A and B are shown apart, each in its own frame.
Chain A
Amino acid sequence: MPLGRRALTVAVGAVALAAIPPIAVALGQPFYLDLFTRILIFAIAALSLDLILGYGGMVSFGHAAYLGIGAYAVGILSHYGLTDGVLHFAVAILASALAALVIGAISLRTSGVYFIMITLAFTQMIYFLGVSLNVYGGDDGMNITAHSDFGGVLELDNASVLYYVTFAALLLFYFAGRRLVGSRFGMVIRGAKSNERRMASIGFATFRYKLAAFVISGAMCGVAGALLANLTLFVSPSIMHWTRSGEVMVMVILGGMGTLFGPALGAVAYLLLEHVLSGLTQHWQVVLGPILVLVVLFARRGVFGLFAGPTEARRG
């Protein structure tokens, strides 16, 4: 069977992203390596949101919280001289999963606009918690003195290594995500998105499955946060600002909701547009806004749908 447009788009996208570090080095533009590492980190965050938004119909307007928790896990552990990388990432994952468990257990008792508002409210609480933690820099944030230390196996202070680690994490989450949405578990959360009432009447207790999806998504986003801390060597509450949650959601919609790969493309498109447009004018969002409106109106399944075809993009 020849490669479908979907597989082709994913393959071309992956190869192009794999080629970024040597190109950036050859051009003598290490800045671009940082930019694209940042893009891939947000691609992971957007992919994690798509898992519950695009497949589970859970419009979480608070995904920046898990980004922040992952980043603060690295920052706080480093603050106390604990630089072990396995510890960093384990704590980032566990802390963001735990936060998602608590937030999800409460938010998922509501739906629609109430769900959006409660997830937003929780994220604002965590944001202000960050602001109030003066020992960790409060509003100003704090510098991180060392990268997550993987004992010479992975030198995250090497920009290319950090890029490829981030890239590998994105690929891993993409393929695991594809398996997940096609599994029994995936069918349940998609069924709950499609028709919650019918799910109950055929015998599914959907709450526990939706909560599990919410926790998985939060933990993935926590990994993105830990990677972000390693990239910037700085954490501050601004990572968790509610506008950040909005940005991640824009990436998902721009790239193509319910496709997993689309949101990664959305992160590329959004952050590149931001980079290019903000070089031209400080009012770059004036340009971005109409682009987003056009995509929502005319490109079903977003940027990914344009490349892969709207029906193929959705398949799976």
Chain B
Amino acid sequence: MAEPLLVIEQLVKRFGGLVATDAVSLELPAGELHAVIGPNGAGKTTLIAQLAGELMPDAGTVRFAGEDVTRLAPYARARRGLARSFQITSVFREFTALDNVALAVQAHAGHSFRFWRPARAEAALREPARAILAEVGLEGREEVPAATLAHGEKRALEIALALAARPRLLLLDEPTAGMGSEDSARMVRLLATLKGRLTILLIEHDMDAVFALADRITVLVYGRVIATGAPQAIRANAEVRQAYLGEESAP
């Protein structure tokens, strides 16, 4: 059997005395949508940052598509097909929505030492960008500056930037962060359309979204994995119920 797309082995990250990631091991087969849940401060975002390359782990390895990427810079991982979205919206605020995504397309369309031809006239950048904006539901909003988009639209643009890389693995850090229920439902529908086409590691607080989308779920508490399994198994796991789901909110 082929190696899973993402293999995390014994990953450790300490901040002073705090162990933010405590010997985390995880495997994501291609095509899986894997959710990581856990209470605030469980180390979810720290884990994503190590997978994306923004933080270097103190120990352990990250293998992506059969290659050890533990020490690679973020841009190098992105080039290999590992894209991410941010919990706090991180787009190019001064650019229009279309310019945002076209720039992300450009990142994967050869080198950018091209000094003369207007990038905004390049169909090879604009057309894929338009298609991706339509895919995330931003059709008709192409020429709006990112800074003036509504919150839900910015979150969708955040996903569009990650998709523009045509990634093999998508790391989504709380895509529904700060959203109302309507926007949130729209985001869940969007993620459902991506499921199966891409391998996705999803961090999410919205339990309805997690149980609706995930093939498997990993529960992180104080940096440690306390359970990994199918949604039903996680729902039934006593330790998880106690540590995280709480008695009254248990589904």
Identify the A interface with B (CB < 8 A).
179-180, 182-188, 190-191, 194-195, 197-206, 209, 212
Could you say which residues of chain B place their CB within 8 Å of the CB of A199?
75, 107
Instruction: Indicate which residue in A183, A197, A205 contacts B117 across the interface (CB closer than 8 Å).
Output: A183
Closest beta carbon of chain A to B154's beta carbon, Å: 12
Residue in chain A with minimal CB distance to B171: A201
Instruction: Indicate which residue in A179, A190, A194, A200 contacts B75 across the interface (CB closer than 8 Å).
Output: A200
Cα–Cα, bound, A121→B73 (Å): 29
User: Is B205 in the interface zone, CB < 8 Å from A?
Assistant: no
Cα–Cα, bound, A212→B108 (Å): 20
Instruction: Indicate which residue in A195, A206, A212 contacts B92 across the interface (CB closer than 8 Å).
Output: A195
Closest beta carbon of chain B to A176's beta carbon, Å: 8
Whether A179 lies near B116 (C-beta < 8 A) is yes
Whether A187 lies near B91 (C-beta < 8 A) is no
Instruction: Indicate which residue in B94, B115, B164, B165 contacts A185 across the interface (CB closer than 8 Å).
Output: B115
Cα–Cα, bound, A191→B105 (Å): 13
User: Is B119 in the interface zone, CB < 8 Å from A?
Assistant: yes
A201-B83, A203-B165 as given contacts; A182 in contact with B118, CB under 8 Å:
yes
Q: Can you show 25 pairs from A to B with CB atoms below 8 A apart?
A: A179-B116, A179-B118, A182-B118, A183-B114, A183-B115, A183-B116, A183-B117, A183-B119, A184-B114, A184-B122, A185-B113, A185-B115, A188-B103, A188-B112, A190-B94, A191-B92, A194-B95, A195-B91, A195-B92, A198-B90, A200-B54, A201-B52, A201-B54, A202-B107, A205-B75
A202-B103, A202-B107, A205-B75 as given contacts; A179 in contact with B92, CB under 8 Å:
no
Interface of chain A: mostly helix, strand, loop or mixed? helix
Whether B79 lies near A184 (C-beta < 8 A) is no
Whether A203 lies near B115 (C-beta < 8 A) is no
Could you say which residues of chain B place their CB within 8 Å of the CB of A180?
115-116
A184-B106, A201-B83 as given contacts; A195 in contact with B112, CB under 8 Å:
no
Could you say which residues of chain B place their CB within 8 Å of the CB of A183?
114-119
Identify the B interface with A (CB < 8 A).
52, 54, 73-76, 78-79, 83-84, 86, 90-95, 99, 102-104, 106-108, 112-120, 122, 161-162, 164-165
Instruction: Indicate which residue in B75, B76, B113, B119 contacts A212 across the interface (CB closer than 8 Å).
Output: B113
Whether B119 lies near A203 (C-beta < 8 A) is no
Cα–Cα, bound, A186→B78 (Å): 21
Residue in chain B with minimal CB distance to A194: B92
Cα–Cα, bound, A186→B75 (Å): 19
Could you say which residues of chain A place their CB within 8 Å of the CB of B165?
202-203
Contacts A190-B94, A195-B91, A195-B93 known; 9 new A-B pairs at CB < 8 A:
A179-B116, A183-B115, A183-B118, A185-B115, A186-B115, A188-B106, A202-B83, A202-B162, A209-B113
Whether B107 lies near A186 (C-beta < 8 A) is no
Could you say which residues of chain B place their CB within 8 Å of the CB of A202?
78, 83, 103-104, 107, 161-162, 164-165
Could you say which residues of chain A place their CB within 8 Å of the CB of B104?
202-203
Whether A187 lies near B99 (C-beta < 8 A) is yes
Whether A187 lies near B78 (C-beta < 8 A) is no
Residue in chain A with minimal CB distance to B106: A184
Instruction: Indicate which residue in B78, B91, B92, B113 contacts A200 across the interface (CB closer than 8 Å).
Output: B78
Could you say which residues of chain A place their CB within 8 Å of the CB of B122?
184
- Nearest 4 CB-CB pairings of A with B: A203-B78, A203-B107, A200-B74, A194-B92
Instruction: Indicate which residue in B54, B103, B115, B120 contacts A179 across the interface (CB closer than 8 Å).
Output: B115
Closest beta carbon of chain B to A229's beta carbon, Å: 28
Cα–Cα, bound, A287→B78 (Å): 52
Residue in chain B with minimal CB distance to A183: B115
Residue in chain A with minimal CB distance to B101: A202
Cα–Cα, bound, A209→B76 (Å): 15
Cα–Cα, bound, A231→B162 (Å): 53
Whether A187 lies near B90 (C-beta < 8 A) is no
Cα–Cα, bound, A275→B62 (Å): 64
Closest beta carbon of chain B to A166's beta carbon, Å: 23
Residue in chain B with minimal CB distance to A188: B112
A202-B164, A202-B165 as given contacts; A187 in contact with B75, CB under 8 Å:
no
Whether A200 lies near B117 (C-beta < 8 A) is no
Cα–Cα, bound, A186→B117 (Å): 10
A185-B113, A185-B114, A187-B112 as given contacts; A201 in contact with B78, CB under 8 Å:
yes
Closest beta carbon of chain B to A175's beta carbon, Å: 11
Closest beta carbon of chain A to B126's beta carbon, Å: 12
Cα–Cα, bound, A203→B99 (Å): 16
Whether B112 lies near A182 (C-beta < 8 A) is no
Cα–Cα, bound, A194→B104 (Å): 13
Whether B95 lies near A204 (C-beta < 8 A) is no
Could you say which residues of chain A place their CB within 8 Å of the CB of B162?
202
Could you say which residues of chain B place their CB within 8 Å of the CB of A195?
90-93
Cα–Cα, bound, A200→B104 (Å): 10
Whether B93 lies near A187 (C-beta < 8 A) is no
Residue in chain B with minimal CB distance to A180: B115
Closest beta carbon of chain A to B116's beta carbon, Å: 5
Could you say which residues of chain A place their CB within 8 Å of the CB of B84?
201
Whether A191 lies near B103 (C-beta < 8 A) is yes
